[in-house]
A and B are shown apart, each in its own frame.
Chain A
C-alpha cells in the first residue's frame, strides 16, 4: 500500500524506469509503454487503490502536487486534433561520441532542456532526426474534458459541497473572462485537457470516464498567448498557424484548466457513488442483497412520489418507470427502451414544477431543468455548434451525459412568437425525444450524435413535443390547499438513509439485465391478437410497442429480470387506466370548448 502511495506521488519515476529497462536491452521500441500501462492498471485494480489516488473532482487543484497521479471523473466534451510529439531522443556527448538515450516518457516534462542540465550550454541537446526517426514519434489526440457533475450531483457528500464553496479564489475570479465552455449555464467545476496516448479512437464524444493520469500544471503551457506579440508571430511560421482565439481556447492557463496525461481511463457505466463502480457481475453478493430489497424500496418510493404528485398513485407509478428507463439498444434508427413521460395537468400555482424538479434532482445523479419560457427557447443554445474560428465545439444544453434526467418545464411557456432559433430548438428537442439523437451543428453540415437522455415533460395540457407516454395528473388536493400541502412535502435531508436507498434503487434498476422467456413471448403475442380481435382500434402497433416497454420497466422496477405473466397483466392494467384517464380528459376538454 505504501508502495502505491509513492507510485501515485511520483509516477514519472516509475515510467522512466520502464523506459530504461527497455532501452538497456537495446530495444527501445519493445512496447514499454504498453507494459507500463499494464503495470499501472494492475496496481490500481485493488479496491482501496483508487481511493489512494486523489481525485481532481474533489480536491482543489492547489492541493495537488504537479506531476503526480490523479484521477478525474469527467465527460468528454470536445476532441482536438492529434498532435505529434517526440517520444524519445538521444543526446550525443561531444567528447566521447557516446549516445545517451533519454525518454521523454509519456507525461514527462515537455521541454528537452529541462532534463539535460549536465550538458554544456554550448551544445543544445538536440533531437536526432535520424533517417529512421519514425518510431520515436507517436500520435496522440487531445480531448477537452469537462466535469459534469458538480451541480448535477447533489449527493450527501460533504466533501463535494465543500469543494464548491472553497474553490480556489483564482478559479472564481479569473473564470469570468475565460469561457470554459460548459454545456449547462451556471456550471462550476474543474475542467481539464486530457492528452490521450493510445486507443484514442475508442473514445466517443459525451462518454463518461474516469481518467487516471499525470497532472501537469506547468505555467509554461499557458504562457504562449500573453507573451507573443504580433511581430514575432508573423516571423515564426510555426506559431502563426493558430489564430489568437484558437490559442486562447487550446492553451488556457494551466492553473485554470490543468492538463492531464492519461495513463488509462475506464468508462463509467453510471455515476452514482453509492453503487460499486465495477461491473455488476463482479458484485453478485451486493446484487443479491439489494435485489431482494427492491420490492420493498419500490413501495416506499411509490408512496413518497404519490405524495409528491399530489396523491396521484398512477402518475407516481409511471414516474418510477420513467426514472429507470434507458436506451438499451438501437434497431437501425429506432432507439429501444426510451420512455419519455409527459405529465400533463400540472398545477401552475406555487411553482409546483420547480418543486417537482427539486425532488427528482435529489433522486437521480444528474439532472437538468430546462424552463421552456419563450425567452429561453429563443435565446438558449441547445445544440452544440462548431466554432471554426477558435476550432472548438461550443457546447449546448443538450450535450448531456448518458442517463441524465432532462426536465422540460412547459408550464413556463407563454404567448409569443418563436424566432428561427426557437424553432430550431424545438425541432432539436423533438428529435431528441423521438430518436434519442442530437444533430450537432458543424456549420457546413450537421452531424448526428446518438444520446441517451431521460426526458420528462411537465405541462398543463398535452405537450407540444412528442412523448412516448402521457399521464394526466389528477391531484387529490384542491387548489386552495395546494400551497399548504406543498410546503408540507417532506424534503429529505441530503444524506438521509432513505434517500440513499431510493438513489441506489433507481440506479440499480436501470443497470439490470432483462430477458423474456419463450413461453411468455407466446402468451404476450396471443394477448395482442386477442385484443385486436375484439376491437382492432383498441390497440395499434404503437400501443403494443409502448406496452412492451412498460412491461419491461415494470418488471425491472420490481427487481425481476424476466417478464412474468403477472407483470404483463399489471402493465396492461396500468396502461388501461392511463388511457381511460387520457380519453376522459380529452372528452372533458372537448366538452368545455365546443
Chain B
C-alpha cells in the first residue's frame, strides 16, 4: 500500500514567452486545446458527469510528456502536480483553428487583444504581473502573525519569504489572502472566484521571480503557492451552492482521518508480446486500457504494471463545525476534505483547524459503471492550506485561544457600554438575573470572569504568576449556589462543571486509557485541563474526597498539572479559575463557628481562594419582601419584560471575550502606592492584637482583583478606583468568611492556619491550667483520665469541652511532660 510520490521526472511544460502566442496567452499549446475542448463540451458532446470545470492551465499534463521531449522548465526544476486544484484530465484533440473559438472564447472583450481563460475574466499575463508586483512590494508594518516572526517588517514580506525558501528548501509559499486584498482588491476577487485558474498563474509568477533571483538554488520541485485566510471565512453551515469552485476558508474540528489513499495518476502498461511500454493518464477516475498495442498491433496484450505506475497521496478528512458555531438544538454539520500530497497526515482527529480550499460538488453516479448521474451532488473541499487554530496555545502563553472575530459594530457597542460610568454595576446585575441580590458575590464572579493580567517572570526564575481568580461560595443549602455555578458554566466558552460527589481525582486531572480503535494508550484529559483558560465550576466541594482535593493544590497556585501514569510523565497547563461551592457540614451554617469549622476544608486549600463568600439567608423582612417579589415576577413576568431589564447574555459574553483578549491593564504609580498602603494597613490591624492579618497571598489577590476591575472598564491602566473596589470586595469577603465568631474581629489566620488567634491562645491557657493542676496534685505518677477531666472542669471558670481537654493533653504530651495510654495519664520525668 505504499504510495510513491509523484513523478520525479515530470517536467513543467511551458514556452519561454507565453504572451507571444497567437490566439490565447496560455503557456502550452496542449492546454489551449483543453480550453477549446471545454468550450466544445458545452455543445453537448460530453458525458453528463462532466460538470466539473477543470483548469485549462494544468501545466505538466501528461500528454505533453507523452508527446515528446519535455521542454525545459524553469532551470530544470521539476514541477509537481497539484491535485488539490483539480484532477488532471486528458484533453481530446480538437482542431485548433475551429471558427467557433475566436469569437466566443473572449466574450465581451476585444477579440484577440484581451484574452481570458474560458469561463472567467482572468487574463493570465495581467494576473501574473499583478501577483509579481504584490510579491515584490507588499509590506505589512503592523504584522502580528507568528509566522512572520524574525522577518523585517519594513521590507517586502514575501520577498523575505522567498529568501527563506531558497535557504530552507521547502518549496511552499503561504500567502495571506488578507494581504492580497489590501494590496489589490481585483486580484483578490479573481483569486477567490477562480482559484483553479489563478493559483497556477501565481505559481508561475512565483517561480519566475524566484529563479530570477536565486538562479542557483535547488528545490525538490517548483514552488507552490498556498493561499490562506480567504476573508470569506465561513461557517460550515453557511456554505451553499454559490461557493462551489471558489476559494473558501472554514473553521472546524477534525473528527476522522482516513488511511492514505494512493490515487493512480498514470498507469503503466506493458505489452506481453513485444514488451512495448505505454502510459495512460487517469481520466475522470478511470484508466482506459489500450486495446491494441501500438507497436505490434496485437489486441488485448497490454498488462498493467503496478510498480511503475504513478500514484499520488490522498487522504480523506472529515471536519465537523466547532461547537461554538452551532445553533442550539441542531446537530453539527460535517464536511469532507481531501488532502493531497504533503498535506496528508498534517492534521489529527481532535485538532481545530482553519482550512482553506476549493469547494467542490461532484454528481453521484447511479451505478459506477454507467455514466448516468443522480440529481444529488456530493460536496467536498480540496484542501490547499491547513492552519491549526489551537496550536498556538502550546508555545505561547499570552495568546488567548479564542480568536473570536468581532465586527466593527460589535466592538463599537462594547466600547460604548464600557464608557458608561456604571458599567461595573450593569454587568454584575446582568449576571444570573434569576438569582436574587448577592450583589457582592456577583461582582466577585464578574471579576473572576475577566481575570487578572497574565505576567511572565519565568526569565527571572520566578515562573508564572497566577492571573486567575478563585472563588469559593459557601452557605446554607438552597441558596441557589448551584444555579450560579451553572450560569457561569453556560456563560464562558471553556467552562467545565463537575460535582464534588461525582468526580474523582482522575476525572479532574487526566487518565490513561486504551483507545478502543487503535489499541494505543491515550491520555484523556479531565475537567481541570479541559477548562484551561476557562472556569472550572465545582459543586459540592465539601463532598469531594481528600484525595481528589489534593490535586487542586497544584492547580490553584502553580496553574499546572503534573501527571505520572502508565509511563506517561508530563506537565499540563491548567490555567483555570476555580469557582467552587460548598455546603456547611451541619447542613445549616453555624454562625458560632468559623468558616473552617463550618465547612471542614483544609486551610491550605482555603488560602488559595482569593475570595470566599458566604451565601446566607439574611432573615430580614425587607429582604424577604424583595425576594418574594423577585421570585413571583420570575415566574409570571413575560419574556419581553425581562429582556428589557437586563443585558443580553450574548452581549455579556462578547464583552468578556473582548476584554480578555484585548485588554491587558498594568498598574500605574498611584495604584501601586494604594496597593502598598492597603497591604500595610491590613498588616497593621493584626499587629495591634499580636497576630498576622495579611500575607503576601492577600496582596496578590488584591492586585488581581484590581486588574480585573480595570479590565471591566476596558482600561489599560489600573488606577486607584480599581484598587479601592478590590479592597472593598476583598474586605467584604473577609468580613463574611474570616470573622472570628468569638471576638467579632476579622482574623485572616482562620483561613491561613485554620485556627483563629484567640482559639490558639485559649488552647495554650487550658494546657497551662492543666499543667498547674497536675503539679498541684503532687507526686502521683499516674492519674485517671476521667478524673483529671472532671477536676479541670471543676477548677476552670469557663466551660471546657472534651476536645479542648484532649488538645491540652496532647500539647503537654508534645512537651514530653506526660503520656496518655488508654484511660490513664502518666507523668514523665
- A residues bordering B, Cβ < 8 Å? 78-79, 81-86, 92, 94, 104, 110-113, 123-131, 134, 137-139, 201, 203-206, 220, 227-228, 232-241, 329, 331-334, 336, 386, 388-389, 391, 393, 423, 426-427, 434-435, 442-445, 447, 449-450, 515-516, 521, 524-525, 528-529, 532-533, 536, 540-545, 548-549, 552
Contacts and interface: CB of A to CB of B under 8 A. Distances in A.
Contact of B261 (A130, A203, A240): A240
Given A138-B241, A388-B255, A79 B621 contact: no
Describe B's contact surface by its main secondary structure.
mixed
Nearest to B631: A544
B327 A201 contact: yes
25 contacts: A79-B330, A79-B331, A83-B376, A86-B375, A111-B374, A111-B375, A112-B373, A203-B330, A204-B330, A205-B329, A232-B368, A235-B368, A241-B316, A334-B483, A386-B331, A389-B256, A427-B499, A442-B323, A445-B323, A447-B326, A529-B625, A529-B628, A532-B621, A536-B617, A540-B617
Q: Across chains A and B, which 9 residue pairs bring their CB atoms closest together, nearest first?
A: A204-B329, A137-B241, A542-B478, A528-B628, A525-B628, A84-B377, A232-B368, A331-B434, A126-B48
Contact of B362 (A110, A137, A238, A544): A238
Contact of A443 (B255, B478, B490, B627): B255
Contacts of B627: 528, 541, 544
Nearest to A333: B486
B639 to A, nearest CB: 7
B731 to A, nearest CB: 27
A123 B44 contact: yes
A541 B332 CA distance: 39
A333 B483 contact: yes
A393 B330 CA distance: 11
Contacts of B336: 241
Q: Among A92, A124, A443, A450, which residue has the most Cβ atoms of chain B within 10 A?
A: A124
Contacts of A82: 333
A110 B368 contact: no
Interface in B463-478: 476, 478
Contacts of B87: 237
A239 B367 CA distance: 10
A359 B436 CA distance: 41
B147 interface: no
Contacts of A85: 375-377
Contact of B375 (A110, A128, A391): A110
Contacts of A227: 367
Contacts of B275: none
Given A240-B316, A540-B478, 18 more contacts: A83-B377, A84-B376, A85-B377, A104-B375, A126-B47, A228-B368, A238-B362, A240-B261, A331-B433, A427-B502, A450-B328, A524-B632, A529-B621, A529-B624, A529-B625, A540-B476, A540-B479, A544-B628
Contacts of B323: 442, 445, 447
Contacts of B619: 532, 536
B241 A84 contact: yes
Interface of B: 42, 44, 46-48, 50-51, 53, 87, 119, 240-242, 244, 253, 255-256, 261, 263, 285-287, 316, 318, 320, 323, 326-336, 349-350, 361-369, 371-380, 432-434, 436, 476, 478-480, 482-483, 486-487, 490, 499, 502, 617, 619, 621, 624-625, 627-629, 631-636, 639, 642, 649
Contacts of B53: 129
B331 A78 contact: yes
Nearest to B588: A537
Contacts of A126: 44, 46-48, 50
Q: Among B50, B255, B380, which residue has the most Cβ atoms of chain A within 10 A?
A: B255
A562 B522 CA distance: 58
B241 A205 contact: no
Contacts of B240: 139
A421 to B, nearest CB: 13
A81 B434 CA distance: 37
A237 B376 contact: no
Nearest to A235: B285
A521 B636 contact: yes
A113 B372 contact: yes
B195 to A, nearest CB: 16
Contacts of A427: 499, 502
Contact of A236 (B285, B617, B636): B285
Contact of B241 (A94, A139, A445, A447): A139
Nearest to B517: A389
Nearest to A200: B330
Contact of A423 (B320, B375, B478, B502): B502
A81 B334 contact: yes
Contacts of B328: 204, 450
B48 A125 contact: yes
B538 to A, nearest CB: 14
A445 B253 CA distance: 10
A541 B377 contact: no
Nearest to A141: B333
Contacts of A131: 119
A205 B624 contact: no
Contacts of B326: 447
Contacts of A113: 372
Nearest to B241: A137
A236 B480 CA distance: 59
Contact of B636 (A443, A449, A515): A515
A28 B323 CA distance: 38
Contact of B480 (A104, A444, A541, A543): A541
A146 to B, nearest CB: 14
B434 A334 contact: yes
Given A134-B241, A227-B367, A331-B634, A124 B318 contact: no
A127 B368 contact: no
Contact of B490 (A130, A238, A333): A333
A33 B256 CA distance: 37
Nearest to A424: B502
B519 to A, nearest CB: 16
A239 B365 contact: yes
Given A127-B51, A423-B502, A391 B334 contact: yes
Contacts of B633: 521
A513 to B, nearest CB: 11
B108 to A, nearest CB: 12
Nearest to B480: A541
B624 A241 contact: no
A336 to B, nearest CB: 6
A84 B379 CA distance: 8
A542 B480 CA distance: 8
A541 to B, nearest CB: 6
A336 B629 contact: no
B478 A541 contact: yes
B253 A444 contact: yes
Contacts of B244: 84, 134, 137
B433 A124 contact: no
Given A329-B639, A548-B632, A124 B51 contact: no
Given A241-B380, A524-B628, A81 B333 contact: yes
Contacts of B433: 331-332
B632 A521 contact: yes
Nearest to A130: B42
Contacts of B350: 444
A326 to B, nearest CB: 14
Nearest to B258: A243
Contact of A525 (B253, B373, B617, B625): B625
A134 to B, nearest CB: 5
A203 B331 CA distance: 11
Nearest to B327: A201
A450 B329 contact: yes
A84 B361 contact: yes
Nearest to A237: B285
A207 to B, nearest CB: 8
B480 to A, nearest CB: 7
B242 A124 contact: no
